[in-house]
Amino acid sequence: MKKIFQIMLVFIAAGAFLSSCDEVETSFAAITKDFDPSVQSGLVFLNGNMLYEVENTDVEDDVISIDLQVWGALSSSALTATIAVDNAASTAQAGVHYTLASTSVSIPANKGGGSVNLTMHTANFEKGDTVLLVMKLTCPGLDTDLYASTAKLKLSKKPECPFDIKTFTGSYVADETGYGKYNVNFSADATNPTRIWQSNFWDWTN
């Protein structure tokens, strides 16, 4: 499957990830560079400093589009941008965790950007694995933003989260205006191992 991210980022805040079974959240600091032909042109990553996460059951390759955008005046001639992987700063291994389709990205004349595919080899990830891929961008003929020319991409497979229904069953105290305090009960279904029944909430039963 192919998933495309279209977010411009300042690459100072890395995507946050949790090692527990809680829902994963990713934090971004956004940058906006509107088209303005009067300013000097530059080139930035549209996606980076993010967490790309797959389900822990995934074994098929996932394709991620690494997108670049020109800001400022567009070039009247075609350009070629180069993406270099910083192996010293990365924990992701080429050919094992990922494959970058090309290290060069063509930007046609008078066009606002380009893209290259990165394949994540999910079968080579254990459940809960997270690796870091650091990429740097250069482009003769265009400046590259000091921060947005580096993308720090985390590739991750979700950890296994065993379901224990006993975590949810029991009696809980509800404190409701006009009713006061009363017990709300949650009990396990006798036949369905993943179903919970609730009773005594707003005078409802089950």
Range of the domain at 14: 2-157
pLDDT score, position 128: 95
Summarize pLDDT for 163-178 with one digit per residue, the tens. 777 787 888 888 888 8
Q: Tell me how many domains the chain contains.
A: 2
pLDDT score, position 104: 95
Q: Which of 7-11, 172-176, 183-187 has the lowest mean pLDDT?
A: 7-11
Same domain, 100 and 32: yes
Same domain, 198 and 123: no
Same domain, 147 and 183: no
pTM of the model: 0.63
Same domain, 79 and 31: yes
Give dist(CA 137, CA 116) in Å, integer.
12
Same domain, 20 and 118: yes
At 50 the three-state DSSP class reads: strand
Q: How confident is the model at residue 39 (pLDDT cuts 50, 70, 90)?
A: low
More confident residue, 93 or 76: 93
Judged against a pLDDT cut of 90, whether residue 129 lies above it is answered with yes
Same domain, 139 and 197: no
pLDDT score, position 132: 97
Give dist(CA 139, CA 184) in Å, integer.
63
